[in-house]
Structure 1
Amino acid sequence: MGPLYLDYQATTPCDPAVMAAMMPWFAESFGNPHSADHVLGRRAHDAVEAARDAVAALLGADSREVVFTSGATEANNIAIKGAVRFLAARGDARRRVVTVATEHKCVLESVRDLADEGFEPVILPVGADGRLDPGTLRDALAVPTLLVSIMAANNETGVLHDLAALAPIVRAAGALLHSDVAQAAGKIALDVRAMDLDLASVSAHKLYGPKGVGALYVRRRPRVRLAPLFSGGGQERGLRSGTLPAPLLVGFGEACRLARALRLEEGRRLAALRDRFLARLVAAEPGVTVNGSMAHRLPSNLNLRFADVRALDVIAHAPELCLSTGSACSSAELAPSYVLTAMGLDAAQAARSLRLAVGRYTSPADMDRAAAILCRAVADARAAGSGAAAHATHDDTARTETCRI
């Protein structure tokens, strides 16, 4: 049997329908979508605009509010830096920019980078459930604020922020509201207008589309204005210059169309798979704990903490499973997950935690197999740890006896 992929929050495979939609645009209809003087260029342009319509429909936006980017990281940077720089350049005296301690690294670093330009970054704490308390946000916005960035769903824990309660607080304070919806798009219902968002970022590869493309929603009414991050030919309403990758955008559009059609049924199926897996795991390992709110979570995600074994040791004893200890962007770091420590876990507890996410191609048989493998891996890691501890104790005793001699 091959490996079991349970890291769908890191990335997703392209859906076969997405692959089929993209292929002709690489070699047959290869025109530049900005070349309006000939048929291949116009054909590519029309395909890109159809993709824009599909992304807008998934987000509940108008097509004219969708700006294509290379992914959510670029979209987050354009939204946060572009919005505050535009306002400051036009004499706005506010300097505070607010976000949350559990945000994706690209959001946290974008906000922190602005300190070098005279802005005031404010990073708000979350509770043990991983959610931002409305009172904490309200207190932070007592100081005039330019922009607030709060993700819809966390990339490590899958925890959902209560944007329905938080957005009115931001609106009452007169600040702009940006949300990174990359993990939420296609998994839960999204409507940027109903959510009262000014800006929202999404990435194709998180919803069975290709890597390398994403989008930024930019509200038109009332209009939100941004300063572009770099100069060029003025494509995408001057906000993101560069030739658009028509094949990838065609795939992005197809992925969004599929997500709209499949979301409800898929969400129910994935939640059932996840809950069945968790029940089997808890029955075999009563000490396992779910990090973050279970009631307010993506239907596909679990972030698990074991009682007495490190997650890296468990993963090492389960080579058949594709799992991670945190976000893909931070997996090379030796430091404990900043998301989990922000939720109150100490370094040892964070080190005993791993992320698991099921997806479109996960079957009940896969999850039964995964539960058996993971239970075995935990037992093996525990036994190996006990053996290592016993060996270390023996060595320490031997050294002590040597010293006495």
Structure 2
Amino acid sequence: MRTPLYLDWNATSPLRAPARDAMVNALDVLGNPSSIHGFGRKARRLVEDAREQVAALAGSTAAQVTFTGGGTEANNQALSLAAHHGRRLLLGATEHPSVLECIGPGAGIIPVGHDGWIDLTALESLLAEGPALVSVQAVNSETGIIQPLAEIAALVHRHGGWLHSDAVQAVGRIPFDMAALGLDLVTLSAHKLGGPQGVGALLAAPSVPLAPLLRGGGQERRMRAGTENVAGIAGFGAASQAAKQGLEGYATIANLRDRLEAAVRQAAPHVRIIGADAQRVANTSCLALPGIGANSQLMAFDLAGIAVSAGSACSSGKVKASPVLTAMGYGEDVAGSAIRVSLGWDSAEADIDRFLACYLPLAARAVKE
């Protein structure tokens, strides 16, 4: 049996060695970080050190970082501010479900173009209707397309709005500076950059009056009740520091992704490479193979011991087209046949060869059928 090959880094990444070490050390620290005695202060030090490390990765200050139970919780807390402060919600059409499912009465969806970018003209029209909290992801998890956040932030601020960005697929993969981009709220997730699952952060600019989603304690400056996950937070901090130091390595990852796509173009020109002409993160390739559904492709890869992801999901036996690709204007043949290949710091040339050995016969079969 062949060694399993993991090409689904956008779903979750392996735990980095520094993060594992930090977590193991933290598990040996006795004390509640809210306690004032020596034991508690030692646990508190771990939390605050990690807060500094996370802030350094995202171009913010430690005072702006509120630890959460993950990216979904951080997104929900950020978007809850709309109702709290009497603002409309405006959400990008290709956002993660943890953003789109926060939609309520009076909320608006900002369309995207075929290139996956937010339609700035449509956004400006929506902003003219009154104060808004706008949520636009930094990087799309399926396509890897990078949104022009600085331009969007300038437009939102001209209309007196706030801009939130789900940046879980961006930090640690591209240089990211919350302040320089003009962002008011940013969501991060530890397990996307080599930290543990179940811990994230919401970063808020000083001008945004943050409100708690969870109440019942004074933790996180009263912004997130509940005893902090000290070991998870310590791992998040260590992973953030390692990710910042490893940013240059994404040039090598880009070479791997580009070699994969070049081979697909040459051998299977009928395959659609989504976002190929757009600015993307280095590790992501979204390939649509009209004629063979995404689920059938996933099964073939799984039998070959290769983990990739799909731009479509199976619910009650029915394949659904990717909402992201549908929002970008692609038809069912493309949106229902797309898979995502996502690489990481351990990916190698041999991984690309093995992927192609499985994928290219599928692509040839699609032509025959």
Instruction: Report the TM-score when normalising by structure 2.
Output: 0.94
Name which of 329, 352, 355 aligns with 1:370. 355
Task: Please state how far the C-alpha of 1:226 moved relative to its aligned partner.
Answer: 2.5
Contact kept, 8 Å, 2:53 with 2:238, in 1: the verdict is: yes
Match of 2:133 in 1: 147
Letter in 2 for 1:12: S
Aligned partners of 1:251 and 1:331: how far apart in 2?
Answer: 33
Q: Aligned pair count?
A: 364
Match of 1:285 in 2: 268
Q: Residues 64-83 of structure 1 correspond to what in structure 2 (within 5 A)?
A: 64-81=63-80, 83=81
Between stretches 9-18 and 309-318, larger displacement belongs to 309-318
Match of 1:238 in 2: 222
Letter in 1 for 2:306: L
Match of 2:300 in 1: 317
Match of 1:30 in 2: 30
Aligned partners of 1:20 and 1:247: how far apart in 2?
Answer: 10
Match of 2:91 in 1: 99
Contact kept, 8 Å, 1:85 with 1:226, in 2: the verdict is: no
Aligned partners of 1:278 and 1:321: how far apart in 2?
Answer: 17
Q: Residues 286-305 of structure 1 correspond to what in structure 2 (within 5 A)?
A: 286-305=269-288
Match of 1:218 in 2: 204
Structure 2 regions of 5+ residues with no counterpart? none
Letter in 1 for 2:9: Y
Match of 1:48 in 2: 47
Structure showing greater Rg: 1
Contact kept, 8 Å, 1:101 with 1:342, in 2: the verdict is: yes
Task: Please state how far the C-alpha of 1:144 moved relative to its aligned partner.
Answer: 0.9
Letter in 2 for 1:268: A
Aligned partners of 1:85 and 1:293: how far apart in 2?
Answer: 38
Aligned partners of 1:161 and 1:239: how far apart in 2?
Answer: 29
Contact kept, 8 Å, 1:134 with 1:166, in 2: the verdict is: yes
Cα deviation 1:352-377 (Å, max 9, x = unaligned)? 11111111111111111211121134
Structure 1 regions of 5+ residues with no counterpart? 89-94, 387-405
Letter in 1 for 2:271: V
Amino-acid identity (%): 40
Aligned partners of 1:377 and 1:109: how far apart in 2?
Answer: 35
Task: Please state how far the C-alpha of 1:34 moved relative to its aligned partner.
Answer: 1.3
Aligned partners of 1:303 and 1:65: how far apart in 2?
Answer: 34
Aligned partners of 2:83 and 2:276: how far apart in 1?
Answer: 35
Letter in 2 for 1:334: V
Task: Please state how far the C-alpha of 1:382 moved relative to its aligned partner.
Answer: 6.5
Match of 1:11 in 2: 12
Letter in 2 for 1:185: V
Cα deviation 1:25-48 (Å, max 9, x = unaligned)? 22x2132211221x3221110011
Aligned partners of 1:331 and 1:270: how far apart in 2?
Answer: 30
Letter in 2 for 1:183: Q
Question: Are residues 357 and 331 of structure 1, via their aligned partners in 2, closer, same or farther at CA, if it must alter by over 3 Å?
Answer: farther
Task: Please state how far the C-alpha of 1:139 moved relative to its aligned partner.
Answer: 1.5
Instruction: Report the TM-score when normalising by structure 1.
Output: 0.86
